Copies of this chain bind each other. A is one copy, B any other.
Amino acid sequence: MPVTSQPPGRRERNKQEKLDRITAAATELFAEYGVEDVTTQQIADKADIGTGTLFLYAKTKGELLLLVQNANYAEALQRGRADAETIRDALGAVMAVVRPIVECNRTQIDNGRFYLREMVFGDPTEPHHSAALSIVGQTEEAIAAILDRDELGGVGDAATTARIISAIMFVSMAASVNAGLEIEALVQDIRTQISLLIPR
């Protein structure tokens, strides 16, 4: 028998494989039809598992969306952080962090809004939820770091300012009023607000 596995058991492998199938199925279906128009049954069928099994891997449909999308947001944050380093002025650097996240969120508007809803109103003890919150935390840290870096003369606590920026992003992306906005317009809208927080 060839040495196929590092991890000890078949159990672990099966579990991982199932999780992969679920992730793949959900990713595909959510992308094509939107969270709201996909039933958990469809996902289970596509992943070729029983109805109940699905909920062993994600306790709710919302958690399932977080599971599927967290990686994208983490990547967006990564890109934004890198871009920000190349930019001198604070506002520009902050927007460099903001933009990829907004783009990620708007890949599919309904899914994006659902994601935000889950983040704020979902159960924070669930694993994928807390992963999402962690990404938000890292985003705020990245922004705070930019503000600190640029010595903004102690207008206020950088962490608090970052928190406000986070709130601005959330509400701007989630608001139904903005649901029709193009990405660029939304980014501009957010920029206008943030510019009040970062004096020149």
Q: Which residues of A contact B (CB under 8 A)?
A: 113, 117, 120-124, 133, 155-157, 160-161, 163-164, 166-168, 170-172, 174-177, 192-193, 195-197, 199
Contacts and interface: CB of A to CB of B under 8 A. Distances in A.
A193 B160 contact: yes
A156 B121 contact: no
Contacts of A160: 192-193, 196
Contact of A197 (B174, B176, B192, B197): B197
Number of copies: 2
Contacts of A117: 117, 120-121
Given A167-B168, A171-B167, A156 B120 contact: no
Contact of A156 (B166, B170, B175, B195): B195
Given A120-B174, A161-B196, A166-B171, 18 more contacts: A117-B120, A120-B175, A120-B176, A124-B176, A155-B199, A156-B195, A157-B196, A160-B193, A160-B196, A163-B193, A164-B167, A164-B168, A164-B197, A167-B167, A167-B168, A167-B172, A167-B193, A196-B197
Given A164-B164, A171-B170, A155 B121 contact: no
A193 B174 contact: no
Contacts of A155: 196, 199
Given A160-B192, A164-B168, A167-B168, A121 B174 contact: yes
Contacts of A192: 160
Nearest to A167: B171
Nearest to A169: B167
